[in-house]
Amino acid sequence: MELTDLNLQQLQEQLAQGSVSSVDATRAYLDRITATNDNYNTYITVCEAEALAMAEAADKRISAGDAAPLTGIPLAVKDIFNTEGVKTTAGSRILGDFVSPYDATAVARLKQQGAVLLGKLNMDEFAMGSSNENSAYGPAKNPWDTERVPGGSSGGSAACVAARQAVATLGTDTGGSIRQPASHCGVVGLKPTYGRVSRYGVIAYASSLDQVGPVARTVSDCALLLQGVAGYDTADSTSVDRPVEDYLADLQGGVKGMRIGLPQEYFIDGLDPEVQQAVEKAIETYRGLGAEIVPVNLPHTDYAVACYYLIATAEASSNLARYEGVRFGRRVDNGKGLIEMFCSSRAEGFGPEVKRRIMLGTYALSSGYYDAYYLKAQKVRTLIRQDFNNAFDQVDLLLTPVAPTPAFKLGEKVNDPLQMYLSDIFTIPLNLAGTCGMSVPCGLTGEKLPVGMQLIGKPFAEATLLRAAYAYEQAGEWQQLRPE
Ligand code: GLN
């Protein structure tokens, strides 16, 4: 057994017993990254010297009897989190030379606990994408089949966990960016309720939808990492001042008597048969564990993708206006004046998908079209949220597929944005509703590609979500899936 085989909980125990040091674990991960990163292209930046220094400090802290739950654990974060003194690109050329002057709150919390930061992970540019192919640094690859996408936009975060290049990672999820890659890479990913984790210092894509969350090998590891970053932050006015539950306390409580809803609109034609089979098997497992399975309806599901691509692009067009080559972003100046400089900086700095979205969003917000598009989308968003509220009057949780298909081939959808957008059909509605959800591995296809199921919880019911996921993980046959 190699050190990189230990999951978070196991490493935590070994560190506490003193049978392993954080420096040894960190070295093992750095070696593994060196040996495999050309293959997977998961890390944009590796923080070797910093990581070893953090590991040494962690070992001292552990021997002094002053360890926090994440002390000494080698983690990595999506390259959308500001990390003091370290390059933070958001997968974009326009931030290619940007070194953050400060830490995002989530990163600061990890550091306060003495976690080790191995580096920054590949992603679709500004988190716009479902395949990682929109990264300016080349796509991360799926460790189950390197000709396939790892999913996106937190593709690096999921592939890194699957490839054992970090114990666990942080990603962000605006329309599925944690859950869809977790599903495609056979790992566990959780999108918390909007406001549960601070977004301070996370480069903004669509501010009313973005949320930070963990990606890990097991449900318990996911719970541990969420515990480490969740909570109110005065620096983020949208974070919610509400106590953080103890996510591990009730993890083993089981699902007996829990009511799990199956939204009829999510089991549709076009769903890959192997995905459907795997999810149906999971439903049977839950039935066997004593949960009550109830059909429910989310009648406005059909409008979610259109609604999302208006709201998300509108917010993006506004958020990305700051990259003009003066205060933010790489400057391209050919001496022809200010306007020309703005234009060339943006033209050269942004990739095609980001430009497409800025144009879509600017259009949706422009006078004359605002009412027809943006305002209408906001009204539809309310209806979608009400759908979830109504469903949660009847059930404790919802269960659905995460994505309509397993990981697709690199290049397969990149020239067809609409097909790409549709791959998020089951994940997007939660972001519009603001509620929490997670992806849990529930099978492998004939081609040995992982399939995930999505569990959806009430707002701030992450503990229930994790408890249900844990019950399945322990009962199912898909614990700690790992590519050969
Ligand atoms: N794939 C979706 C998009 O491109 C979601 C991305 C995300 O959650 N960041 O917008």
Q: Which two tokens stand for residue 196?
A: 């549960």
CA distance 83 to 77: 9
428 Cα nearest atom in ligand 1:
5
Contacts of 404 (CB under 8 A, 6+ apart): 270, 271, 272, 275, 422, 423, 425, 426
Q: Is 177 a catalytic residue?
A: yes
Bridge partner list, 188 = 216
CA 262 distance to own-chain centroid: 23
Q: In the predicted model, what is the mean pLDDT of residues 379-384? A: 98
Q: Is 198 a catalytic residue?
A: no
Q: In the predicted model, what is the mean pLDDT of residues 107-128? A: 98
User: Which domains, from first to last, does the chain contain?
Assistant: 1-484 (3.90.1300.10)
Work out the pLDDT band at 65, boundaries 50, 70, 90. very high
| Peptide bond between residue 100 and the one before it cis (omega within 30 degrees of 0) | no
Q: In the predicted model, what is the mean pLDDT of residues 43-50? A: 98
Tens digit of each residue's pLDDT (9 = 90 or more) over 195-236: 999 999 999 999 999 999 999 999 999 999 999 999 999 999
* Cα-Cα-Cα-Cα dihedral sign, residues 116, 168, 198, 424: positive
Work out the pLDDT band at 336, boundaries 50, 70, 90. very high
Percent of the chain past pLDDT 70, that is, above it, reads 100
Q: In the predicted model, what is the mean pLDDT of residues 443-452? A: 96
- Cβ(55)–Cβ(23) below 8 Å: yes
- pLDDT value, residue 269: 84
Residue 478 reports pLDDT greater than 90: no
CA distance 51 to 75: 9
User: Which member of 21, 78, 120, 141 is catalytic?
Assistant: 78
325 C-beta closer than 6 A to ligand 1 = no
125 C-beta closer than 6 A to ligand 1 = no
Q: Is 130 a catalytic residue?
A: no
Work out the pLDDT band at 243, boundaries 50, 70, 90. very high
CA distance 357 to 349: 14
- The runs of H, that is alpha helices, within 66-178 are 105-112, 155-162
Q: Which two tokens stand for residue 406?
A: 């397993």
- pLDDT value, residue 430: 98
Residue 419 reports pLDDT greater than 90: no
Bridge partner list, 457 = 397, 436
- pLDDT value, residue 334: 87
Q: In the predicted model, what is the mean pLDDT of residues 259-277? A: 95
Q: Say what the pTM is.
A: 0.97
User: Which helix (H) or strand (E) segment is 422 a member of?
Assistant: helix 417-422
Residue of minimum CA distance from atom 10 in ligand 1: 128
Dihedral angle computed from the Cα positions of residues 391, 394, 398 and 399, in that order, rounded to the nearest 10 degrees: -120
Tens digit of each residue's pLDDT (9 = 90 or more) over 120-166: 999 999 999 999 999 999 999 999 999 999 999 999 999 999 999 99
CA 106 distance to own-chain centroid: 13
154 Cα nearest atom in ligand 1:
9
In terms of residues, how long is the chain? 484
User: Which member of 130, 153, 183, 439 is catalytic?
Assistant: 153
Residue 460 reports pLDDT greater than 80: yes
Closest Cα to residue 214, out of 169, 174, 180, 176?
A: 169
353 C-beta closer than 6 A to ligand 1 = no
Bridge partner list, 202 = 81
311 C-beta closer than 6 A to ligand 1 = no
Q: In the predicted model, what is the mean pLDDT of residues 166-181? A: 98
- Which residue do the tokens 């890194």 mark? 160
Across 230-244, 248-262, 409-423, 439-453, least confident range: 409-423
**Average confidence score pLDDT of the chain:** 97
Work out the pLDDT band at 268, boundaries 50, 70, 90. confident
Site to probe by mutation for ligand 1, drawn from 79, 126, 153, 210 as the one with most ligand atoms within 8 Å of Cβ, is 153
Work out the pLDDT band at 415, boundaries 50, 70, 90. confident
CA distance 191 to 69: 21
77 three-state secondary structure:
strand
